[in-house]
Amino acid sequence: MQVQTIGVVGLGNMGLGMAATLAKAGFTVLGYDISEARRAQIEAAGVSFVPELNAVLGQADALVFSLPYAKDVEAVATAPGGLLRRRDRKVVVIDTSTSDPVTTRRLAATLAAAGHALLDAPVSGGPAGAATGSLTMMIGGEAADLAIVQKVVDAMSAKAVHVGPSGAGNIAKLVNNLLVAAHLVTTGEAMRLSEAAGLSAADALAVVNAATGRSAISEAMYPRWILPGSFDSGFSAGLMRKDVRLAVEMAEASGVALPLSAEVARIWRDSTPRIADTDDFTHMADFRKEPI
């Protein structure tokens, strides 16, 4: 089944980068966002801005969603007069949003009943990865549906792992982001301790990154965004709070006690007065400020 026209819904920091990458790869890309404010920027990236959602849902051979919340994904996928009415072909939705597996499985069943398919395919790599086609994707869903859009996935990612059935991609992403949230807290505290004891954070990191305490936080985020004080990774604290909340809810639903993760969730929740939802999430590891 040929896939040439891709509809990208949600043209924020991640969605626009993915749409531009797909256009560079030779796909015809139709883009939709609730705001037209970035229309000139979108079209400059080789993406056709379409002001009507159903026009994108009705014309695309495959769809890529990049939306903030599960409720947004469900609302778009089931929009009246949209995808559920199509019978001309099977449309595979690649949902790169971070959602909860329960919603994902319910929506996958709804789309399957209409002859379509959903892959939960959350991503890692940030806006830079989206713009360069070097994302890591963790994919849940049917292997046959992934095969239909394999070239689309290949264009957007440097590494894509099919981790299991519907919902598995979101489980993997929530587990990953729970670790990231914890590492931001612990690495920030460790660097605060180092500075207080008389060793600069930069010098401490030179050791940590050559030893067993290293992580993506210490190796990548500190030199890029935290030590320079730019805090502009492109991922908001509000979205990380959402992902931590979803991970904790998943743990509760699974009957798993995670005491340390619960404390990490509390820190992220209670940090709102100091780190606004709109602030970059790397502020959590700012060792220069007093602890939450």
Residues with catalytic roles? 173
Cα maximum dimension of the chain: 68
Contact 29, 61 (CB under 8 A): no
Q: Is the dihedral of CA 178, 181, 187, 189 positive or negative?
A: negative
Task: Please name the residue ranges forming H helices in the chain.
Answer: 13-24, 39-44, 53-59, 70-77, 101-113, 126-132, 143-148, 150-156, 168-197, 201-208, 216, 237-254, 259-270
Q: Is 40 exposed, middle or buried (0-12, 13-18, 19+ CB in 10 A)?
A: exposed
- CA distance linking residue 272 with residue 276, whole number of Å: 5
Q: How far is CA 232 from CA 118, 136, 186, 228, in A?
A: 32, 20, 20, 10
- CA distance linking residue 223 with residue 90, whole number of Å: 45
